[in-house]
Chain A
Amino acid sequence: MISAIRILVFLLAIAGSYNVHAAAVKFKPLAVAGQDSRNVPLKSPEGVACGPATVLVSDTGNGRLVRYSLVNDDLKDGAEIRLSQISYPLRARLTPKGEALVLDGKSRKIVRVAADNSFAGYLEPQNVPAPASIVTRSLTIDARGNIYLVDILGERLLVLDPNGVFTRQIPFPADSGYISDVAVDQQGAILILDSQKDQVFRAASNENTFKVMAKDLRNYLFYAVSIETDSRGRVYLVDQNDNGVILLGQDGAFLGRYLNFGWKPGQVFYPAQGCLAGNDIFVIADRDNSRVQLFKLQ
C-alpha cells in the first residue's frame, strides 16, 4: 500500500515538473547528464550547443567543454575538452560542419573548436564597420553556417559568413533594454531577446530593422536569457530567474510555460541556455543544478 502511494506521489511529482497547459507541447523529462565519461561532475554549466547527434556543454565552473553523443534520446560518452584558450566557457554553438564556436567569459573571445576537439583558432570578424571593436554577448549559427553575433558594444546584431567575414548588421531597436541572445529561424528571420524589457524582436531575412514580435511578456517571465526556435517557427525562451521555459507561437503569442524550480530530475535551477536537438528534444544547461537535462517535446 505504502509503495503504491509512493509510486503515485512520484508520478505526480513528475507530472508537476512539466506543467501541462492547453499549449502546443509537453516537456517530458528524458535524461539527465551530470558527469563526463570519467565521472567528473559538471559544475555550473552555462551553455549547450545541439547538433544532430551531439550535445556540446560549456562546463563553465570547471573551465572546460564536454562533448556528449546523443544516442536513443540519451546523452552518452561525455568527452572532456580542455583548451588553454577557454577558461570560462559561456555560450556555445555548433556549425553544420561539426565545429563549435564557444564564447569565453574571461577573454570574451569566440573560440573555434574543431570536430576533433582541438583548438582551431579564434573567430576574428573581418571587415566589420565602425565601431571595429566588438563585445559579443551571445551568438548563433544558421543552417548554412552563417554566424550571428549580439554585439553589445556596437548595439547591433552582426551577421558574418562562415569564414567570419562581415555581411550585414542590424542595429538594436531604439526602445530595447538589454539584448542578451539571438536565434535564427528556418526562413532566415533573426530573433533577438530583450531580457530587461521582456520582449522579442524579429527581423525577416530581407529586413534591416528589428520589429517587435512579442512584448509585454513580463506577466509570463522574470528574466529570460536564452532564445531558440524550432522548424515550425515556435520560440523557446529560457527564463533563468524564474526557472522555466516559455513557449511563443510564430506570431509571438504566448503558448505556455513549462518546468518548475527544484533540484530533482525534471526540475531546473537557474537554467542558462537551451537548444533543440532535432525538432523534439530540448536540452537545457541547468546551471545551478550543475547538470544538463533533456526533455522530449510532445
Chain B
Amino acid sequence: MKIRSVTSLLAVIVLTVWGQCLAAGTDQQLKLKPGARGNLCLNCHNSFKEKLARKVIHTPLKKKDCSGCHNPHTSSHGKLLEAGTKTVCSLCHASMISAKPRSVHKVVADGGCMKCHDPHSSDNKNSLVKDGKALCFSCHKPLGEALAKVKYRHAPVESSCLSCHQAHASDKGPYLLKSEINLLCLGCHKSDKPLFINKHMNYPVSQALCTGCHNPHGSDSPGLLHKNVHSPVAKRMCNQCHMDASSATPLKVKSDGIGLCRGCHNDMVNRTFDKNRMHWPLLSRKGCLACHNPHASEVKGLLREPTAQLCYKCHDDTMRRQQKNISKHEPVVEGRCAECHDPHSSNFLFLTKKDHKFDLCVSCHDWGRHSTHPIGEKSVDPRNRNLSLGCVSCHRSHGTENKKLFFYKTTTEVCIQCHEKLTR
C-alpha cells in the first residue's frame, strides 16, 4: 500500500516536471517572456477576468492556454480561431452524432456548438449560454410562448426538455427523443393501470401513437389533448370509426379511405365529389387522412400540420421555386394556400376557388376592375389567340425572380411580348 502511494506520488512529480520542461522548451522556442505563458493574452483581454470568475470554465481557458483554440498571430478565420466556428470544437471534441442517428439537432449538424455553449465560460452546467428550458426556448420560441400560456403543462417539461429529448442527436427516436414516442410515454404512463385503460375506453392505445391525440408539452385541455379534438374522440365514441374494443382488431377502422369520413361528413363529401377536379390524395388509400388527423390536432380543421408545411410536403417544387423568387405573393409567403386554393376539389385549374386567370385575383385586387389595359374574356392574347388576357398573362401568381411578379425582368420586356411593334 505504502509502495503504491509512493509510486503514484513519484509519477505525479515526474509528469509535472516533464510538463513544465516541455512548456519551458516551447516558451523558449516561441521566445516568450518569462512568466508570460497564460498571462500574455489576458494582459490585453481584460474582459476575461470576468469570464474567469464564472462557475464553469472551458479547460483550455482554465489552463490559460488561449492558443488551444486561437492562433496568436494570424488566422484565416474570425477571432483568430485555428479553424472555422463550425469545426473548431471538433479539434478536441469528437462528434456528438453517432454513425447512424435517428434524429439530429439541426444546430449540431450545422456545427453551431456556440449557439448553445459558451466557448470560454459560463455559470451554467456544460458551459451552456442559458440554463435549462430558457436555452431551448431561445430558439424554439413559439413552443416556449405557447407553453407559457397553456393551462396544463406536462410535468417533465416543467423540469427540463432533456427529460425526454437528447440535446445533440438520438439513435433511438425521432425529434431527438430518447426512445420511440410510445416507449417514452409508456415508460411513465403504465398502460396496464385501470385508470389508463378506463380513460382510453378499453382500446389498446399503447399500440397507437400517443401524440396522435395528446400534446406531449402542454395543452389547455385536460389530458393534454391537442387544441382541436375530433368530435367522436371528445365524446369518447371511438367505436364510431374503429371496430369494437372487444373485437379481435379493435384499432382497425370500419372502412378504408374516404368512405369512413363520409358516414358523418356526407354533405361535404358530396360537394367535393360534385366538382370537376379532385385533389388526388383525397382519393388515395389514406383519403381524408392524407391531410387530416382523425383524432386531434393543434391546427384548425384537424390538419396534420400548418397549411403551408402540409402542402409543401407534396408540393415541394412550389417551395423550391418560391425560394428563388424575388417578388412573392403575400398569401404564399404567409402560407395561406387555402386563400386561393380549395384543397378538396374545384371546377378550376390548380384547384383554385375561382378562375385563376382573372376572377381569383380581383377578389382581392380591386384595381383589376378598373385597369385601363384590355383584360378579360373578350380581350384576345396576341401571342396566342386561343387565350384571353388575364392577370396571369403578365404576372405569375406565386411570384417570380422579377419585380411585381412579372414573368420577365423589365417592364419593357413584359410589354413587348405582345406589343412587338414597339420593340426597339
Q: Mark B291-321, 1 if CB is under 8 A from A, else 0.
A: 0000000000000000000000011111011
Smallest CB separation, A56 vs chain B (Å): 19
Q: Mark B396-422, 1 if CB is under 8 A from A, else 0.
A: 000000000001000000000100000
The reply to whether A263 and B284 contact each other, CB–CB distance below 8 Å, is: no
The reply to whether A196 and B314 contact each other, CB–CB distance below 8 Å, is: yes
Contact partner of B276 (CB less than 8 A), chosen from A41, A88, A270, is A88
Which residue in chain A gives the minimum CB-CB distance to B321? A222
User: CA separation between A154 and B283, bound complex, in Å?
Assistant: 10
Contacts of B385 in A (CB 8 A): 34, 41
Smallest CB separation, A17 vs chain B (Å): 13
From known contacts A135-B283, A153-B257, A153-B283, infer whether A291 and B276 are also in contact, taking CB-CB under 8 Å.
Answer: no
Is there a chain B Cβ closer than 8 Å to A223's Cβ? yes
From known contacts A196-B314, A242-B317, A263-B381, infer whether A153 and B387 are also in contact, taking CB-CB under 8 Å.
Answer: no
User: CA separation between A223 and B318, bound complex, in Å?
Assistant: 9
Is there a chain A Cβ closer than 8 Å to B37's Cβ? no
Smallest CB separation, A118 vs chain B (Å): 24
User: CA separation between A31 and B316, bound complex, in Å?
Assistant: 34
From known contacts A264-B384, A290-B384, infer whether A153 and B285 are also in contact, taking CB-CB under 8 Å.
Answer: yes
Is there a chain B Cβ closer than 8 Å to A106's Cβ? yes
Is there a chain B Cβ closer than 8 Å to A129's Cβ? no
Contact partner of A106 (CB less than 8 A), chosen from B276, B315, B349, is B276
Which residue in chain B gives the minimum CB-CB distance to A154? B285
**In the complex, chain A residues 68-97 whose Cβ is within 8 Å of any chain B Cβ:** 87-88
Q: Mark B377-399, 1 if CB is under 8 A from A, else 0.
A: 00001011111000000000000
Smallest CB separation, B326 vs chain A (Å): 17
Contacts of B317 in A (CB 8 A): 222-223, 241-242
Is there a chain A Cβ closer than 8 Å to B367's Cβ? no
Contacts of A285 in B (CB 8 A): none
Secondary structure call for the B interface:
loop
Is there a chain B Cβ closer than 8 Å to A140's Cβ? no
Interface hub of B276, B277, B314 (most chain A Cβ within 10 A):
B276
Contact partner of A290 (CB less than 8 A), chosen from B314, B321, B387, is B387
Contacts of A177 in B (CB 8 A): 314
Contacts of B275 in A (CB 8 A): 106
The reply to whether B383 and A263 contact each other, CB–CB distance below 8 Å, is: yes
User: CA separation between A289 and B280, bound complex, in Å?
Assistant: 23
User: CA separation between A178 and B383, bound complex, in Å?
Assistant: 35
Secondary structure call for the A interface:
loop
Contact partner of B284 (CB less than 8 A), chosen from A41, A105, A153, A287, is A153
Contacts of B285 in A (CB 8 A): 152-155
Q: How many residue pairs bridge A and B at CB < 8 Å?
A: 72
The reply to whether A108 and B283 contact each other, CB–CB distance below 8 Å, is: yes
- Interface size bracket, B side: 20 to 34
Is there a chain B Cβ closer than 8 Å to A161's Cβ? no
Contacts of B383 in A (CB 8 A): 262-264
Smallest CB separation, B309 vs chain A (Å): 15
Contacts of B276 in A (CB 8 A): 87-88, 105-106
The reply to whether A152 and B280 contact each other, CB–CB distance below 8 Å, is: yes
Is there a chain B Cβ closer than 8 Å to A44's Cβ? yes
The reply to whether A152 and B384 contact each other, CB–CB distance below 8 Å, is: no
Is there a chain B Cβ closer than 8 Å to A26's Cβ? no
User: CA separation between A241 and B349, bound complex, in Å?
Assistant: 13
User: CA separation between A127 and B277, bound complex, in Å?
Assistant: 28
Which residue in chain A gives the minimum CB-CB distance to B423? A9
Contacts of A133 in B (CB 8 A): 257
The reply to whether B349 and A288 contact each other, CB–CB distance below 8 Å, is: yes
Contacts of A154 in B (CB 8 A): 285
The reply to whether B277 and A105 contact each other, CB–CB distance below 8 Å, is: yes
The reply to whether B386 and A152 contact each other, CB–CB distance below 8 Å, is: no
The reply to whether A289 and B384 contact each other, CB–CB distance below 8 Å, is: yes
User: CA separation between A44 and B355, bound complex, in Å?
Assistant: 12
Smallest CB separation, A104 vs chain B (Å): 9
Q: Mark A119-153, 1 if CB is under 8 A from B, else 0.
A: 00000000000010101010000000000000011
Smallest CB separation, B69 vs chain A (Å): 39
Contacts of B158 in A (CB 8 A): none
The reply to whether B386 and A196 contact each other, CB–CB distance below 8 Å, is: no
From known contacts A178-B314, A289-B387, infer whether A44 and B283 are also in contact, taking CB-CB under 8 Å.
Answer: no
Contacts of A196 in B (CB 8 A): 314, 316
Contacts of A241 in B (CB 8 A): 317-318, 321
The reply to whether B314 and A152 contact each other, CB–CB distance below 8 Å, is: no
The reply to whether B349 and A152 contact each other, CB–CB distance below 8 Å, is: no
Provide 22 A-B residue pairs closer than 8 Å at the C-beta atoms, listed in order of the A residue.
A34-B384, A34-B385, A41-B385, A44-B349, A88-B277, A105-B278, A133-B257, A137-B280, A152-B283, A153-B283, A155-B285, A196-B316, A222-B320, A222-B321, A223-B317, A241-B318, A241-B321, A263-B381, A264-B383, A264-B384, A288-B349, A289-B387
- Beyond the given A153-B257, A263-B384, could you list 5 further A-B residue pairs with CB under 8 A, ordered by the A residue number? A34-B386, A43-B386, A108-B278, A222-B320, A289-B386
Residues of B within 8 A of A (CB): 256-257, 275-278, 280-281, 283-285, 314-318, 320-321, 349, 381, 383-387, 407, 417
